Amino acid sequence: MVWLVEEAGLHPRAGEATLRIARDLAGRMDYIAGTVLYDLDGTAARCGLSRATVKRHVGYLRELGALVWARHGSRRNLRLAGRPYAGTATIYAATIPYAYDRTHGHRVDGQGFEARVVAVPVPPVHTPAADGLSSRVREPQSLAARPRKPVAEADERCKDTPRRRARPRPTSRPGDSTPRSPLQVAADIRIAAQVRPHVPWTQSEGLRRLAYALRPLIDHGLGAHDIAAELTSWWISWRPARPAAYITAQLRDRMADAPHEDQPAGTAHPHTAEPTGNPAWQAWLRQRATATESREPQRTDDDRRHARLYGWDRWAEIADHYATDPDDALDLYGTRLCGYAVKRAAGGGARR
């Protein structure tokens, strides 16, 4: 250790404190097995150093190749008799670095801390500076030089083992114009869960995909009831295989077919996947919201229950109401009664 720290100077931060800790470990070492208990608290008290200093200089000893882990300690209680708590101790094994053996001309047999010196030249050669030791100053002794590999037990937990930082998961999909926070995504899913039971052809779609497809309507303040009425007004008599993709395509087409008052003549509006930024789409939504708010008198849930209970015999009146104002008819009579009335008016049979 004196040669490693003072003569060769292989570690820039190792010094007197490192040697003091090395002498304490050497005094307690089992030289038959070549192992020694870490005993962090006891080492700090005997050497007159803090726990942090002992940890740091023991790390220098490992980097020099003078110590390797034989067993990692843990906080698991061994449940020893007469002791309320006893954790697993850390055990180190003493080694001789490859740089020391090469500099002194030692021949060794074996690898790692189990290697043994089999031949010592007389006299030893002391040429630490001219031997090119900088590339192997922290390697354990072996018969041949090899890239440094950390010596640690694979079946024990290593406190010094680096862990990869998990990547942050995105809160919105690529192409989404307005990034969603987790709370906003949860609110969208709640609205989709309220919409799906009222629109039969959407019930095969997952809530997350459905919520994503409904974002253009949600972003403009439409509630679950208004969104269900809008989807029902499309009057789809078949079930799309991918309802969310169908909704996205329909909203894009409706935006493209709307009159573009702000664009010069002959200029086609670009097709985009997100219709929320289109001025014509926003104007249509504002007009629809204004028409909804201007209805007088204010309709109550009792009005809706009464109309849906006693409106089956007035299907012609309901069909006319739907032809004039489909949104208001759906709000008052519901999807099932409006569908029944329109089919009867068209001359088709319908079942209640």
Q: What is the DSSP string of 36-54?
A: EE--HHHHHHHHT--HHHH
Q: Pick the range with the lowest mean pLDDT from 145-159, 178-192, 327-341.
A: 145-159
pLDDT tens column, 7-22: 777 788 888 999 999 9
Q: What mean pLDDT, rounded, does the chain reach?
A: 75
Cα–Cα distance, 70 to 113 (Å, whole number): 9
Cα–Cα distance, 75 to 55 (Å, whole number): 17
Those residues whose C-beta lies under 8 Å from the C-beta of residue 252, and which sit 6 or more positions away, are 271, 272, 273, 275
The residue-averaged pLDDT of 310-326 equals 85
Query: Which pLDDT score, from 0 to 100, does residue 66 have?
Result: 85
Query: Which pLDDT score, from 0 to 100, does residue 180 have?
Result: 79
- Percent helix, strand, coil in the chain, to 5, is 50, 5, 45
Give the domain ranges of the chain: 2-136, 176-290, 295-352
Residue 102 has pLDDT above 60, yes or no: yes
Task: Spell 32-63 as b/e; 16+ CB within 10 A means b.
Answer: eeebbbbbeeebbebbebeeebbeebbebbbb
Q: Pick the range with the lowest mean pLDDT from 37-41, 125-129, 281-285.
A: 125-129
Token duo for residue 250: 């329909």
Token duo for residue 70: 């034989």
CB neighbourhood size of 175 (10 A): 8
Residue 126 has pLDDT above 60, yes or no: no
49 or 118, which is more confident? 49
Query: Which pLDDT score, from 0 to 100, does residue 114 have?
Result: 66
pLDDT tens column, 33-89: 788 888 888 999 999 999 999 999 998 888 888 888 787 777 777 666 677 776 777
The residue-averaged pLDDT of 87-113 equals 77
Q: For residue 112, what is the DSSP state?
A: G
Residue 236 has pLDDT above 60, yes or no: yes
Query: Which pLDDT score, from 0 to 100, does residue 257 have?
Result: 62
State the fold for domain 2-136: Arc Repressor Mutant, subunit A (1.10.10)
